[in-house]
């Protein structure tokens, strides 16, 4: 199946722990993103990579570090997890180049709960 897939779907962990979320797309897209959706349902861009290069890095704590080994993968590592990190994290991809008119294809999300 062609898709954006992210794992795990659910992640429950304690404060202070380090965790990673993996994302892969087989759509041949050049650009990948990480979004955070909080309890109020706002989608906030965190990072964007185009062909493995960082192009968007919003005001996100240094505890969050994206890694793109190739253009089909964009993983998110989070250090020293805090209660406020609890949210749903979505990976997405889009066709490269014309970023402004390329629809995003989202993964199914990772629901992170920090206790």
Partner 1 sequence: GQNIDQPTEMTATEGAIVQINCTYQTSGFNGLFWYQQHAGEAPTFLSYNVLDGLEEKGRFSSFLSRSKGYSYLLLKELQMKDSASYLCAVTDSNYQLIWGAGTKLIIKP
User: Cα separations (Å) of 5 from 57, 58, 89, 111?
Assistant: 22, 23, 12, 14
Residue from 13, 22, 45, 52 binding partner 1 (CB under 8 A): 45
Pick the closer one to partner 1 by CB: 15 or 55. Answer: 55
Residue from 1, 10, 40, 84 binding partner 1 (CB under 8 A): 40
Which tokens belong to 67? 């890694």
DSSP H helices, the chain, are: none
The least CB distance from residue 107 to partner 1, in Å, is 6
Pick the closer one to partner 1 by CB: 39 or 62. Answer: 39
């Amino acid at each position: 199946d062609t898709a954006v897939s992210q794992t795990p779907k659910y992640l429950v962990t304690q404060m202070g722990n380090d965790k990673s979320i993996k994302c892969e797309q087989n759509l041949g897209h050049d650009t990948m993103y990480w979004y955070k959706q909080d309890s109020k349902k706002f989608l906030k861009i965190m990072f964007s990579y185009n062909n493995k290069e960082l192009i968007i890095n919003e005001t996100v704590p240094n505890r969050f570090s994206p890694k793109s080994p190739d253009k089909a993968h964009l993983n998110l590592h989070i250090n020293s997890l805090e209660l406020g990190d609890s949210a749903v994290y979505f990976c997405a991809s889009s066709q490269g180049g014309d970023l402004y008119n390329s629809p995003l294809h989202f993964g199914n999300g990772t629901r992170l709960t920090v206790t």
